Amino acid sequence: MIKLHARLEKRLDAEPFVARVARGRGGGRGDLREVQFVDGQDEPSPGYGGYLLAEGLEEGPWAARPDAWPIPEALGHLSDGDVVRISPRSGELWVMYRRGSTSNSMLLTERCNSYCVMCSQPPRDVADDHLVRSYLEAIPLMSRETNELGITGGEPTLLGDRLLEIIRKCRDHLPETSLHMLSNGRMFNYLSLSREVAEIGHPDLMIGVPLYSDLPHRHDFVVQADGAFDQTIRGLMNLARCGVSVEIRVVLHRQTVERLPQLARFIARNLPFADHVALMGLEMMGFVRMNLEPLWIDPADYRPQLTGAVEHLHRRGMNVSIYNHQLCVLDRGLWPFARKSISDWKNEYVDECVACAARDHCGGFFASSSLRRSSRIRPLTPDMIPPESATSPTLSATP
């Protein structure tokens, strides 16, 4: 697992700042908004806003400079083009963006108006305005070649105008980057907010909104908020009406799988305008740890519901994907829908996977799944792997 936070020496006289990492020959532009990564191979050169000294250089002549920090070995992964925030007074370095990663996302606030029973990032009612400020500085430093960038929380819509500012900044500085925002959708119940987001005219924005049940009270229960179902449904309709792409996300656990086929039917009937439906495995983080027994269900035990839901949606022309599931717990017919979705700094494999012929196609596990994972993980043999031609979704009438 890649470390995104590290401690540095404290420097009480310097302000926090956001900077792009320059590393290696030809790296960076030698600009004050950059910090140079100095290791044994390259000489530090003047003109940067700061210097990060790799292990072994902490005794050298540069170490004495106020704008140079020895960094721990765990930050050796820092690459040219990454964006970091350095807080000298508290002695913290935070890797905000990794140029080589396919799953960069911006956590804009920890506050939330829901309190989902399985939240992997439990909300905290804290003053975290610095997050938006930092990202507003970081976005212009990110590579224009970034394929995809996420916005998460907490609930980003609680930021109101500052969220709009972030989206605008992405539109202006990263016009070729898909922007994917996770939101509970409740604030889009206000048509005005949906309109404002639409009017920014971001070229490639999609909003992923969770829906946990076809029955209002069951959805409200999962997100622990009265009236949330109605708000989310109206939010989805408002977004669609304003022409904003939406994705529906369903986290699968014991409280949601039982009615999964009914939920699939509900989505196909009522929300056919959704651009994508993601059916997602449970990440054993946050509140899941405190609600483990009422939430945990072995994915191998909900195969019929999952297969039924995917078939139903697929036949009705909906674009559907399965996230965070190991191939060996899915019915064969569902493999073409499974995506390798676990963020690169979170995924792992287990002993069984060593001998598995499907490893390259399989997304593996969240690191957090050491807490609990399917009891039916089995390595697959080569004859069980479908030929390349089977990569596009096809389901037979009688699976």
Partner 1 sequence: MPTALPVLNDRFRPVERFAARPGRDYTLLPMRLISLDAGRHVLTNFAGEYVVLPKETTRRLVRHELDTASDVFEELLSRHFVSVGGSDAALDLLAVKYRTKQSLLAEFTSLFMFVVSLRCDHSCPYCQVSRQSLDRHAYDMKPDVADRAVDFMFRSPSRALKVEFQGGESLLNFPLIRRIVERVESRNLAEGRDVQFVIATNLAPLTDEMLDYCRVHEIVISTSLDGPRELHNQNRPRPGGDSHKLAVRGIRRVREALGHDSVAALMTTTAASLAQPREIVDEYVRQGFSCVFLRPLSPYGFAVKTGLARKYAADEWLEFYRAALGYIIELNLAGTPFREEYSSLILRKMLTPFPTGYVDLQSPAGLGIAGLIFNYDGDVYASDEARMLAETGDRKFRLGNLAVDSFEDVMTSDALIDVLSETMTEGVPMCVDCGFQPYCGSDPVYHHATQGDVVGFKPTSDFCRRNMGVMRHLVRLLEDDERAASVLETWI
**Which residues contact ligand SF4 (rule: CB under 6 A)?**
326-328, 349, 352-353, 356, 358-359, 362, 364, 377, 379-380
Q: Is 168 in the site for partner 1 (CB under 8 A)?
A: no
Is beta strand 50-53 parallel, antiparallel or unpaired with respect to 148-152?
A: unpaired
Q: Residue 147 or residue 381: which is nearer to ligand SF4 going by CB?
A: 381
- Read off the tokens for 143: 């590579």
User: Which amino acid, residue 299?
Assistant: P
Nearer to partner 1, 4 or 198 (CB): 198
The angle that helices 228-241 and 216-223 make with each other, rounded to 10 degrees, is: 100
Q: What's the sign of the alpha-carbon dihedral 284, 286, 290, 294?
A: negative
Cα distance between residue 217 and residue 226, in whole Å? 8
Which option in ligand SF4, partner 1, none does residue 5 bind, with CB closer than 5 to 8 A by kind? none
Asked if 304 touches partner 1 (CB under 8 A), the answer is no
CB 143 within 8 A of CB 99: yes
16 binds partner 1 (CB under 8 A): no
- 146 Cβ contact list (under 8 Å, min separation 6): 99, 104, 174, 177
Q: Is 336 exposed, middle or buried (0-12, 13-18, 19+ CB in 10 A)?
A: middle
Residue 44 phi/psi, 5-degree rounding, is -65, 145
Among 54, 252, 268, 342, indicate the residue that binds partner 1 (CB under 8 A): 268
- Is 301 one of the binding residues for partner 1 (CB under 8 A)? no
Choose among ligand SF4, partner 1, none what residue 124 binds, the Cβ cut-off being 5 to 8 Å by kind.
none
- 165's contact among ligand SF4, partner 1, none, with CB below 5 to 8 A by partner kind, is none
Which residues in 96-125 contact partner 1 (CB under 8 A)? 115, 117
Exposed / middle / buried, residue 59 (Cβ in 10 Å: 0-12, 13-18, 19+): exposed
Whole-angstrom Cα distance, residue 24 to residue 234?
51
Q: Which stretch binds partner 1 (CB under 8 A): 30-38, 75-83, 160-168, 228-236?
A: 228-236
Q: Which CB atom, from 197 or from 362, has the smaller least distance to ligand SF4?
A: 362
Residue 240 or 362 having the CB closest to partner 1: 240
- Asked if 285 is part of the footprint of partner 1 (rule: CB under 8 A), the reply reads no
Q: Which is nearer to partner 1, 230 or 348 (CB)?
A: 230
Given its phi and psi angles, is residue 110 left (phi above 0), alpha (psi -120 to 50 degrees) or beta?
alpha
Residue 359 binds which of partner 1, ligand SF4, none (CB < 5-8 A, kind-dependent): ligand SF4
Q: Out of ligand SF4, partner 1, none, which partner does residue 380 contact, by CB within 5 to 8 A per kind?
A: ligand SF4
- CB nearer to partner 1: give 315 or 339: 315
CA distance 13 to 88: 8
Q: Which residues bind partner 1 (CB under 8 A)?
A: 115, 117, 214-218, 220-221, 224, 226-227, 229-230, 233-234, 237, 255, 258-259, 262, 265-266, 268-270, 272, 287, 290-291, 293-294, 311, 315-316, 397-398
